[in-house]
Amino acid sequence: MALTETEIAVPSLAGLPAAAAQLRAALGDHTIILFEGEMGAGKTTLIKSLCENMGVPAAEVSSPTFALVNEYRDAHDKPIYHFDFYRLNNSSEALGMGALEYFDSGYLCLIEWPSRVADLLPSRHLLVTLTVTGEEARVLQLKTMS
C-alpha cells in the first residue's frame, strides 16, 4: 500500500477557498475521501468549500447529521455524496442505509466521522485530518492510501 502525505495550512477562514482548491487538486482519482477531526474542527465547512470549488451552490451544502447522507451535483451534474456517521452506533446501520453501494458507485464520497464505519471503508482512500491550531487556523494533513 503506497502512502503519500501533504500538509495544507489554513491560517483563517479567508484561506479556506484556497485550501479547498489544493485539496481538490490532491484528490486525483480518489473517490473515497475521509474527514477526521475533533468536533468543531471544521469538517463540514471544509466540505462545503470543496463542493463550491466543484460547482455545487453553497446554499445546497449542509451537514447530513440527521439524514446520514446528502447528495449534491457538481458542475458536470455528477453526484457527490456527503456522509456524516457521527450518530451511528455501529457499521451495520451504515450497511442498512446502503453505504457500500455509495462507496462502490465510483462517485465522490465525502465521509465525516469515518472511524464509525472503519470496517466498511475501502483500503484505497484519501484521509484528511483537520487539526485546530488557532481560533480560525487549521492544518489539513492529507494521507493518500492506494
For 57-82, write each residue's pLDDT tens digit: 988 998 888 788 999 999 999 999 99
Rounded alpha-carbon distances, angstroms, from residue 81 to 5, 6, 12: 24, 24, 26
C-alpha span between 131 and 129 (Å, rounded): 6
pLDDT at residue 95 is higher than 90: yes
Q: How many domains does the chain have?
A: 1
Q: What is the pTM of this model?
A: 0.94
Structural domain span for residue 100: 3-145
Residue 21: how many other CB atoms lie within 10 Å: 14
- Which CATH number characterizes residue 121's domain? 3.40.50.300
